[in-house]
Amino acid sequence: MSKTHLGHTARKRFGQNFLHDEYVIGNIVAAIAPKPGQNLLEIGPGLGALTDPVCEEVDALTVVELDRDLAKRLRHHPFHGQKLSIIEQDALTLDFSQVAQSLPAERGKLRVFGNLPYNISTPLMFHLFSHAKHIADMHFMLQKEVVTRLAAGPGSKHYGRLSVMAQYYCAITPVLQVPPGAFKPPPKVDSAVVRLIPHATPPVDVESVELLESVCAKVFNQRRKTLRNGLKELLTDTQISDLGIDPGVRAEVLPLSDFAKLANAVARNTAQEEG
């Protein structure tokens, strides 16, 4: 299978799999529903598979592209001219809040989208979550397995740390499945598009998001362990049962609200130790 598409040879290190299926592209753009007057931002525009049709609908689009050659191509694009603002940078280190604040406020929060480089998609989403208050919504192409994990609920074998943390920040809706043949070169895995809408206020109160993360990391590290074993350095059996949670269960059955209770109990312990 050729790695060259529209005269550009795909770079594996940048996770380059270019969309070429017009039907799939049309469905993704319909899901994003871009409108003039909005602050749209694309991560990894590449050869413009999504950039071109989105640009047709809107009056302004900001794109973030790490590959110098692709950024250069976009700068010389024959049609998009004034509409495109190109940020040539690693999206993982971009201050999305600063970008949002530099754009016209009347256009609202950022609407972020992209066919993400799969090698960095999870850290990139977590980076975006840390800027969630400036983001209205996100539409991302990801590995299908990642979308399944993002959207999984308690009791599912796909439910884990990624599900709990992503659902703390966002409402998550799988939108569409995409087969490898829609890309050039085709990736080795199935893909899917997901919509993530940051919550206006978090669905649960947590004293510290870092503690929520570390509780999730501990209890999902060894999925077969009971809570009692996974949290033995942080909480006693009694402290867990006092929260109305059975210390003998496994983490994969607990809803987000229970993770919040556990994290807040750890925060109380830490405060007592320090006080």
The span of 41-49, 105-113, 156-164, 255-263 binding ligand SAM (CB under 6 A) equals 41-49
Asked if 128 touches ligand SAM (CB under 6 A), the answer is no
CA distance 78 to 195: 31
Q: Residue 177 or residue 257: which is nearer to ligand SAM going by CB?
A: 177
Kindly state whether residue 117 participates in binding ligand SAM, applying the rule CB under 6 A. Answer: yes
Contact range with ligand SAM by CB under 6 A, out of 43-51, 155-163, 194-202, 248-256: 43-51
Q: Which two tokens stand for residue 265?
A: 């109990």
Whole-angstrom Cα distance, residue 53 to residue 47?
12
Residues in 14-33 that interact with ligand SAM by CB under 6 A: 14-19
The stretch near ligand SAM (CB under 6 A) out of 9-17, 154-162, 232-240, 265-273 is: 9-17
Residue 75 contacts by C-beta under 8 Å, 6 or more apart in sequence? 86
Task: Name the nearest CA neighbour of 237 among 227, 222, 224.
Answer: 227
Instruction: Name which of residues 201 to 260 contact ligand SAM (CB under 6 A).
Output: none
Is 55 a binder of ligand SAM (CB under 6 A)?
no
Joined tokens for residue 254: 């607990």
Task: Return the closest-CA partner of residue 191 out of 182, 203, 178, 202.
Answer: 178
| Single-letter residue type at 142 | L
* Residue bearing tokens 């110098």: 68
Does residue 121 belong to the site contacting ligand SAM (CB under 6 A)? no
Q: Which residues bind ligand SAM (CB under 6 A)?
A: 14-19, 43-47, 49-50, 64-67, 70, 90-92, 115, 117, 120
